[in-house]
Structure 1
């Protein structure tokens, strides 16, 4: 525990509920919040639907976790009832003071069981929901809703059911840990991750899923090769489907496009900062996002970003100022943009510097945590939270946007 933070007496029990055993953007937020709550001197506990990278990180952090039966909750019938009963029994035994669910669908499935705790519940929207998804998820009234972007806040406010019409909906834009993600010696980073010292390196840090745009990048690489521009492209991430079907599609496309000599599929990696510092350009031609952490992490690392002009990405990239925005289904345009940036060091440095300045001033993890603590304080009762955190409850704190 940081020495500047007095231990609360008694500590609060705060649960984070994750939607996946993988570590995507939403999962990373939940894991980081669990560690932060622990560092404040409270008791962190995390719900995960199965073992994997998320539980491995929790074990390393010595944070307790519980495996809930997500497949059974989705199945209906007796299996669903049994899984809900098990979740209800766990929450009654663990008696949390606050439950933060990092996915609206999971909140909708678990909220009947979580209500047994009698604790305030917060539901976190990290990706664009449909109106039906909002109404279904919020049919059980939470204490608060957090969205990762202003765009998603607008969608939730426009679609929430009457029963949740006065529930606070707070946009807390995703943020980056500037202690981990920062510019560094690119040559040293390349040596560390095993990249060629003299070839441009493109990277994607995204789970393998059709909407993320890996196929667009592969087709852009083919266009680059046809233009005589040789680059390497590394893809870090796991198949979100679990069965590996989309990963197989990507490997087949790599072979058919004649790119096996310049493409590497890295799987799950925990050295994201080094990969980003080693890269020349980060790509995310996604068709839908909340507010992608990977874009902020790349910008904080001093890496150029080219992404799609969808609301979640356009909220943090101004075209030709802090990155480039290109439609997700335009591989030839991606190839042209990549070639242009590689051929124009002055333009690249201008964009890189502007993006780094914006991330440092607006998207720091410390600022994010202050906003989350404000939402927690409102849900718990400001005086109780402040006393437990060792602060004077009469001292004003900054409110989230």
Structure 2
């Protein structure tokens, strides 16, 4: 009798965010007969976000890690892994990479770490201490993948991940859920104060330093100053929760923009929010493959994004959107201005963006790629034949 292998996903916190959303999508869509799943949060989980899990058999474990080294968390995780006996430990980003040795000591046969982006305090991956830790951990993992070509190249050249342990796993988007606005759609999400008479620029994402929403607010203020004729129509939406939400609200109020900027906090109706926008903006100072930009493109929105990380791999400059330097409100305002002055150009770039998503970033392809990685590593590493049945097609 065979047992369906268990994958333990180790993340810092389960909360509203791009990485977490795609993790839940993969779990929900992967055939239950292939793998079981559990999520281990180094800190804790947001109960509202956890409700997105459609499979009732997915357990969530919170380790309540304190700030700093917290060696006790290593012991707690070791005990949990010994009890769960997973076939795979899948850790995410720098915050969880140090637990590869714990998984090895706990007898977990397959260990994977994914690079999905960098923190705001090290957007270019130059922190020597962090990189030393990443290099130290490479031998404890069977695969150190990245979700953008730029991050994969950095993994190989800077961290020294060998070719046989390196791969690219691109993000995927549900192009049925994220679709263009239809004539019979309500204009925007519940509670949105803006209507069809407005020109709505917006973004969706966690309100944290790496997203640099302050630059977007500054760019929006400049745009209003540049376009006196359209000033009364211009509106900005920044949807998402995070540690800097109240700071951002204070910045908006200090600039006198509170009547033209909507900051609703965390939302579960992102597709509806996107269908209420005219232009999507992304002001990040570091990114992997930006899931939020792909969702916007699937919704047929043109994207103005910063030229960092994986954004240039997604946004084709002058075709599906415009790329601008990071932390440059003037450049972002100038790019947004082109779409405000030419709705036809916005529609053209939006249509090209959706076509690009349909061609390169399907949700089905993403799930199959992750499942194929699990299959190949389990078949190679787990010696007891019959313990793992390949589900790859």
TM-score band by shorter chain is: 0.7 to 0.9
What is aligned with 1:326? 324
The aligned counterpart of 2:211 is: 212
Maintained 8 Å contact 1:212/1:286: yes
2:136 match: secondary structure: coil
Q: Are 1:180 and 2:183 counterparts?
A: no
Match of residue 100 from structure 2: 111
Deviations 1:174-217 (A, max 9, x none): 12122321213267242543332211111111111233121112
SS in 2 for 1:17: strand
Answering whether residue 61 of structure 2 is matched by residue 66 of structure 1, we say yes
Question: Match of 1:171, SS?
Answer: coil
Write the distance in 2 (CA, Å) between the matches of 1:181 and 1:297: 6
Distance in 1 between the 2:217 and 2:146 partners? Answer: 32
Q: Which runs of 5+ in 1 are unaligned?
A: 1-7, 392-396
| Structure 2: distance between partners of 1:322 and 1:67 | 40
Greater share of helix: 1
**Corresponding residue number in structure 2 for 1:5:** none
Q: Offset of 1:37 from its aligned partner?
A: 3.7
Match for residue 299 of structure 2? 301
Q: Hey, what's the Cα distance between the residues in 1 that align with 2:5 and 2:164?
A: 23
Over aligned residues, Cα RMSD in angstroms?
Answer: 2.5
Alignment of 1:190 with 2:187, yes or no, is yes
Offset of residue 56 of structure 1: 2.5
The 8 Å contact of residues 14 and 42 in structure 1, kept in 2 or not, is answered as yes
In the alignment, is residue 238 of structure 1 matched against residue 241 of structure 2?
yes
Separation in 2, partners of 1:385, 1:100: 22
CA drift of 1:124 comes to: 0.2
Q: TM-score, structure 2 length as denominator?
A: 0.87
1:17 is matched with 10
Task: Answer with 145-154 or 323-332: which moved more.
Answer: 323-332
Identify the range of structure 1 (17-26 vs 315-324) with the bigger mean alpha-carbon deviation: 17-26
Three-state SS of the structure 2 residue aligned to 1:45 is strand
Matches within 5 A, 1:70-219: 70-71=65-66, 74-76=67-69, 80-108=70-98, 110-115=99-104, 116-128=106-118, 129-130=125-126, 132=128, 133-140=130-137, 141-160=140-159, 165=162, 167-185=164-182, 188-193=185-190, 194=192, 195-219=194-218
Higher mean C-alpha displacement, 222-231 vs 315-324 = 222-231
Q: TM-score, normalised by structure 1?
A: 0.85
What's the CA shift for 1:61? Answer: 3.9
Cα separation, 2, equivalents of 1:179 and 1:45: 27
Give yes or no for contact 1:187–1:197 (8 Å, CA) kept in 2: no
Give the aligned partner of residue 122 of structure 2: none
User: Which runs of no fewer than 5 residues in structure 2 stay unpaired?
Assistant: 119-124
Aligned length: 372
Question: 1:138/1:373 Cα in 2 relative to 1: closer, same or farther (>3 Å)?
Answer: farther
Give the distance between the partners of 2:131 and 2:171, measured in 1 at CA. Answer: 20
Distance verdict in 2 for CA 1:273–1:55, change over 3 Å: closer
* Aligned residue among 248, 272, 290 for 1:250: 248
Aligned to 2:20: 27
Q: Secondary structure at the match of 1:139?
A: helix
How far is the alpha carbon of 1:157 from its aligned partner?
Answer: 0.7
8 Å CA contact 2:28–2:54 kept in 1: the answer is: no
Instruction: Indicate yes or no: 2:46 matched with 1:52.
Output: yes
CA distances 1:195-246 after superposition (whole Å, capped 9, x unpaired): 322111111111112331211121122223223223111111112x4xxxx3
